[in-house]
Amino acid sequence: MDPLTHAVRPLKWRRKRHPLSEEVRSTFRLLSVTLLVLLIGLTGTYLYTNSLKPAKGYELEQLRLDHESLQSDLRKLDRQVIEAQSFLNLSGSEVLRRMQVAESNTFSYIEYSPKVSLKSSDE
């Protein structure tokens, strides 16, 4: 078999060529679909991000209102403690009524003396 007379077969892996107008049209379609998908994705991301802002603002407002309510409760409780500890309320207390009057008006206080040493618990 002579290589010069041998019939040449076309390559199977080579694509069939289309006219330039068809290739431009298919490339344009691919580009349009890609841009459309990107636009939809960006729009969805933008809307999702913007919907989070009001939700965070609402949550912060609720926390601020809760904080003010708790501060108000704290002030009320502080006022109740001060009223309970006031001298007017202590004078009517049962504990004070049960106390006995001191027999003498003289009081003695232990004065600090460096000579006096306290016994340690080890001894």
Task: Please state the pTM of the whole predicted model.
Answer: 0.40
Q: What is the pLDDT of residues 52-74, one digit of tens each?
A: 888 888 899 999 999 999 999 99
Asked if the model's pLDDT at residue 90 lies above 70, the reply is: no
Domain spans of the chain, in order of start:
20-96
User: Coil, strand, or helix at residue 18?
Assistant: coil
Question: 61, exposed or middle or buried, with CB in 10 Å at 0-12, 13-18, 19+?
Answer: exposed
Q: What is the pLDDT of residues 91-122, one digit of tens each?
A: 666 776 777 777 777 766 666 555 655 554 44
- Residue with the larger pLDDT of the pair 27 and 10: 27
Across the chain, mean pLDDT equals 80
**Alpha helices for 1-123 (secondary structure H):** 20-84, 87-91, 94-98
Q: What is the pLDDT of residue 123?
A: 43
